Structure 1
Amino acid sequence: MHGHLYIILKESIKYIPIIGQGMMFYGFIFLSRKWEKDKERLQYRLRKLSGTHKGPLSGKESLDPMWLLIFPEGTNLSDNGRAGSKRWAEKNDIPDLRHAMLPRSTGLLYCISELQKNTDWVYDCTVAYEGVPPGEYGQDIFTLRSTYFEGRPPKSVHMHWRRFATKDIPTGDKEFGDWLLKRWREKDDMLEYFQQHNCLPADDGISDQFEGTRPLKGAGRIETYVRPNNPLEFLFVLAPIAAAGLVVNVIVKFWIMILRILRIK
């Protein structure tokens, strides 16, 4: 069971009409990117998510299965994002990346530290979109308008997945920062490979990890098709907030009717 999905996003997104309110309804976590302000809020949400809850039918205390999605870069890839990454590299006297942005370690390290007791693995996903020329960005080419109203979505989306045991991830600030930066340089190399071959590298080798007595083997390359049942399927995510709006509308109209009746009397 995959459970719930919670996403950590920058705070400005929650002010987008309808979409932002929908994300808030689903319990997404919004951060201002100012650690002094964010730490207390993030701590509260993480401890709430990692706590046990009593099942409505069984009455037993248990953990809710969930995924927590975080973008250590803090923002999406763009001209401004690349400029910010370059400034960060110069400030810390480290080489910048070519195809990605340098990650910030504070938020991710805090999440791992808070959830480590109940979390065995951290999954890392590298994403590349077909049809993005060098020096341009997917957000400028594959917009909501081009995807849903002009019928120009990406021809393919490539993902490279890997996982790391939380017990093997360093927890010291510097050690974790170095570990995370190394992972991002590996991701940058994958994106360079994508530029050259129009696909991400496949893992076909045998791992030094075991599942029981069998050594784990890379999954190679898997290709599948993902299509919505209809062009408006993405609107289904807004159904709960729309339903809540209808309920509020009914309540408001009911109270207006009551006030009118009282006024008549």
Structure 2
Amino acid sequence: MDVRNSIRDWYKIPKGILRLCFILINNLYSIPTYVMWMFLLLPLRKVNPEVYWKIEGYFFHWLLAMVSLWSYSAGYNIVELGDDLTECLDDRTLVIANHQSTADVPLLFACFNPRKQIIPNIMWIMDSVFKYTNFGVVSVLHKDFFIMSGKAKREKSLQEFRKHLLNYYIPLKRKWLVLFPEGGFLRKRKAISQRYAEKMNLPKFEHVTLPRVGAMQVIMDTLSQKSVINNNSNSENSDKTEIPKIEWVLDITIAYPNGWPVDLSHIVFGHREACETIMFYRLYPCKDLPQDSENLTKWVFDRWSEKEKMLDSYYRTGTFTCDFNSKKCVGPRRAVVQDYLRFAILHVFFIASTYLHVQMFVAAYNYYNYFVY
């Protein structure tokens, strides 16, 4: 039996190398293609910005589909439980989720990818360090927001976040906002969170960390009711814009098998055995949420206390329970299924676009040489 396991494990090495090579090459012909198309379409942004941003949304969705393929092809599947998302797919929705590892965002990509309404109209709120990753330029062009961590920068960052909502989220007609209130990975923040909880006489969590409510408070203050504002010169829209109202809050509890999070290295190399990640949804009408800071903080803390109970139960028993306020809401398991034919078509598109862009560069270089020399 040990010999068989050893032989099987040997396959993980060439498999991991092949996956790494594929992902690196995939990055090389996908991300530059997105950037080039956005550059070539800049004149359209001046003439008809609404059409430009609609096209950009499609390109952004196609690019994130590439990332969805990475986890799906490695066997890291997603199962959805809880509330049905049908009601909020086309509405303005704030997504809040617990944060455990580097795989949280790619798996959310994979979760949203089959739903055509979400990714083209989404805005991600992420730590400023992600600006310097391979996807940083994409997020900058898509107008995602990079929030700065640290107490000294927090107030300034929240002020900039409010301006970003007014200057981009509203004029670009984004729908979904994705926020990780914990502000960092579980393994990095757990000890700090527990020390703070002990100091402030708050519950000490094992499977989540105490959430920060600042960014969510800015969203609620800015987008909780309809009004009209005067845009500044940085806005993508005309002089006056109606502020849209956030209609839903979608609370996602991300649960990994046995409490062992999938991480980015697993997705890249595929060396972890295939497994299922649970996405547990609870959908709340925004009108039912408290607006003032104190009660909103309590509301968010209550949700995180429920997450702690759900995750503790899941890790101990292997099943989810949700019986809060006498509401049974586990529901049927719904597997997220990706479309390999769509993946193939998108790869052909990105490869063909890369070839076209290279030919354009070669032609421009030859043209330059002809007239200069």
Check whether TM > 0.5. Answer: yes
Question: 1:166 aligns to what?
Answer: 286
Deviations 1:225-252 (A, max 9, x none): 334445x959x69x88x99987876665
Question: 1:10 aligns to what?
Answer: 127
Aligned: 1:129 with 2:261? no
Map of 1:1-265 to 2, 5 A cutoff? Answer: 1=90, 2-3=117-118, 4-17=121-134, 19-33=135-149, 34-51=153-170, 64=173, 66-78=175-187, 80-117=188-225, 118-132=245-259, 137-138=260-261, 142-150=262-270, 152=272, 155-202=275-322, 219-230=329-340, 233=343, 253=362, 255-264=364-373
Note the C-alpha offset of 1:15.
0.9
Q: Normalising to structure 2: TM-score of the pair?
A: 0.53
Deviations 1:87-108 (A, max 9, x none): 3324434232121110001111
Question: 1:57 aligns to what?
Answer: none
CA contact (8 A) 2:190 2:206 kept: no
Tell me the SS of whatever aligns to 2:334: coil
CA contact (8 A) 1:82 1:101 kept: yes
Unmatched tracts of structure 1, length 5 or more:
54-63, 208-217
Deviations 1:121-168 (A, max 9, x none): 211111111143xxxx41xxx233323533536522223221223223
Unmatched tracts of structure 2, length 5 or more:
1-89, 91-116, 226-244
Question: In the superposition, relative to structure 1, how do residues 92 and 225 fare at CA in structure 2: closer, same or farther (>3 Å)?
Answer: same
Whose helix proportion is higher, 1 or 2?
2
Q: For 1:205 and 1:87, locate their aligned partners in 2 and report how far apart those are by CA, in whole Å.
A: 30
CA contact (8 A) 2:205 2:308 kept: yes
CA contact (8 A) 1:129 1:158 kept: yes
Note the C-alpha offset of 1:22.
3.1
CA contact (8 A) 1:130 1:154 kept: no
Deviations 1:69-104 (A, max 9, x none): 1000011221x2212212332443423212111000
CA contact (8 A) 2:158 2:214 kept: no
Question: In the superposition, relative to structure 1, how do residues 190 and 66 fare at CA in structure 2: closer, same or farther (>3 Å)?
Answer: same
Q: For 1:186 and 1:205, locate their aligned partners in 2 and report how far apart those are by CA, in whole Å.
A: 11
Percent of aligned positions that are identical = 23
What is the root-mean-square deviation of aligned Cα atoms in Å?
A: 3.5
Q: For 1:153 and 1:186, locate their aligned partners in 2 and report how far apart those are by CA, in whole Å.
A: 29
CA contact (8 A) 2:252 2:279 kept: yes
